[in-house]
Amino acid sequence: MAGTLKTVSGKSKINLSNKKIAIVVAEWNEDVTEALFDGAHQALHALGVKKSNIIRVNVPGSFELPLAAQWMAEKKDIDGVICIGCVIQGDTPHFDYICQAVAYGVMKLNLKINKPIIFGVLTTLNKKQALERAGGKLGNKGEEAAVTVVKMLEIH
């Protein structure tokens, strides 16, 4: 749920005009991930990141997020990466394998690359829960991911 610390409330403490952020977007559950992308993009811009410094990359599904995030994070001029995805539980354990792999992959990447790689991946039981968190009554987790990457840049 969006709390006060996680929503955009003004410009950042640091100068973000020269910071470059990649947003990697999974195409599975596209209606949800597009809404998350919009939330992240708008929030980054509102916080002070130039639109020309927000780089979008698409991947087929959430499982592909860590590798594409690594490719982006390895670039010298990229300061942080936001991973956007939406994994919805189905009838088989596939959901668990994807969620665990992506969460672990993104976490490992943070430590390996030493740049903030944000986990903006919804893992929900159904589409309704996902839409509620992608601009619905529970806020937009893409926006929260943007605030998180900026907070991490402020710390570092």
List of residues contacting ligand DLZ (CB under 6 A): 26, 28-29, 60-64, 85-88, 90, 94, 98
Minimum distance, C-beta of residue 22 to ligand DLZ, in the bound complex (Å) = 18
d(CA 112, CA 89): 29
Choose between 80 and 120: whose C-beta lies nearer to ligand DLZ: 120
Closer to ligand DLZ by CB, 7 or 132: give it: 132
- Among this protein's residues, is 94 annotated catalytic? yes
Closest CB 84 distance from ligand DLZ, rounded Å: 10
Smaller CB separation from ligand DLZ, 13 or 94: 94
Choice among 41, 45, 94, 156 that is catalytic: 94
Q: Please, what is the minimum distance in Å from the beta carbon of residue 94 to ligand DLZ?
A: 5
Q: Annotated catalytic sites, by residue?
A: 94
